[in-house]
């Protein structure tokens, strides 16, 4: 928990010294090769995901793109976020931005919000055992944390404090793509972030 505070004290959102070159081209290339699947299919919201890590390296999205709480309840399983750490085929397309954090990655994916797709206000990671890194890939849409609309640069890697209430919605007429990394929070991963803050 103490490690997470070292990150959060620096701000709700801030850029790191990592950048995905040609983020739109990489995203489109990957989408031609792989099928996106419903993100949290239990809810009728136009959200889709592409697994970059999963339970066994597969890309079905089951159960890594589902609600783990509900999936475990319905299937008498005990999966945790950290169980989804095996790279999938699609990982290779994004390895430029993923590899620096690969020792600590789990449940990582590309998120696609079609027009009208959204995440209602919510909080993540109450236990503070992990943290969230985000890369906006294409068509940045309003991402709000505690009533503040965040500014982003395409392809840039950011720390985002998702313990705070946040929401995202696509009010445009084309899909919005985001790369979501879940990273184990420990001394080494926190030092990796802190030693790669984007200056100036």
**CATH code (residue 50):** 2.60.120.330
pTM for the full predicted model: 0.94
The answer on pLDDT for 199 being more than 90 is no
Look up the domain containing 165 and give its range: 2-194
Residue 126: per-residue pLDDT: 57
Q: What total of structural domains would you count in the chain?
A: 1
Token pair belonging to 141: 């849409």
pLDDT at 129: 87
Domain presence at residue 199: no
Task: Answer yes or no: is 156 within a domain.
Answer: yes
Instruction: Tell me the CA distances in angstroms from 66 to 8, 122, 148, 157, one per residue in order.
Output: 27, 16, 28, 24
Q: What end-to-end distance do the CA atoms of the chain give, in Å?
A: 29
Is 123 within the bounds of a domain? yes
For residues 101 and 190, is the Cβ–Cβ distance under 8 A? no
Question: Residue 70's Cα: distance from chain center in Å?
Answer: 20
C-alpha dihedral (149, 153, 156, 159), degrees to nearest 10: -10
Q: Tell me: pLDDT of 138 over 70.
A: yes
Q: How confident is the model at residue 2 (pLDDT cuts 50, 70, 90)?
A: low
- Residue 200 in domain: no
Tokens 């609309």, residue located: 149
pLDDT given for residue 1 in this prediction: 58
Closest CA to 110 of 190, 69, 54: 54
Q: Quick check: is 128 in a domain?
A: yes
Residue 80 lies in a domain: yes
Output the pLDDT for position 123. 83
Pair 93, 30: CB distance under 8 Å: yes
Least confident interval from 1-10, 75-84, 103-112: 1-10
Cα–Cα nearest to 64, from 42, 46, 49, 43: 49
| Residue 96 belongs to some domain of the structure | yes
> Residue with structure tokens 């840039």?
156
3-state secondary structure of 94: helix
84 located within any domain:
yes
- Cα(196)–Cα(80) distance, integer angstroms: 28
Q: Return the pLDDT at 166.
A: 81
pLDDT reported for residue 124: 80
Stated length of the chain: 200
| Average pLDDT over all residues of the chain | 93
18-63 pLDDT, tens digit each? 999 999 999 999 999 999 999 999 899 999 999 999 999 999 999 9
Q: Find where tokens 């068509």 sit.
A: 139
| Position 135 pLDDT exceeds 80 | yes
Residues 6+ apart with CB under 8 A from 192: 100, 101
Answer yes or no: is pLDDT of 127 > 80: no
């Amino acid at each position: 928990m103490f490690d997470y505070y070292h990150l959060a004290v620096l701000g709700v959102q801030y850029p790191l010294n990592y950048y995905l070159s040609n983020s739109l081209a990489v995203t489109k290339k990957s989408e031609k090769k792989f099928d996106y699947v419903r993100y949290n299919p239990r809810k009728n919201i136009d959200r889709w995901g592409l697994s970059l890590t999963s339970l066994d390296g597969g890309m079905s999205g089951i159960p890594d793109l589902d609600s783990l709480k509900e999936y475990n309840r319905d299937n008498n399983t005990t999966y945790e976020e950290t169980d989804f750490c095996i790279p999938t085929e699609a990982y290779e397309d994004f390895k430029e931005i993923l590899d620096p954090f690969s020792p600590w990655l789990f449940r990582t994916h590309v998120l696609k919000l079609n027009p009208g797709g959204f995440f209602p206000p919510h909080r993540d990671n109450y236990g503070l055992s992990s943290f969230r890194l985000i890369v906006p890939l294409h068509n940045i849409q309003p991402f709000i944390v505690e009533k503040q609309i965040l500014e982003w640069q395409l392809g840039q890697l950011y720390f985002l404090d998702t313990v705070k209430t946040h929401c995202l919605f696509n009010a445009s007429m084309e899909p919005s793509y985001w790369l979501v990394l879940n990273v184990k929070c420990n001394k080494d991963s926190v030092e990796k972030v802190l030693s790669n803050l984007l200056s100036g």
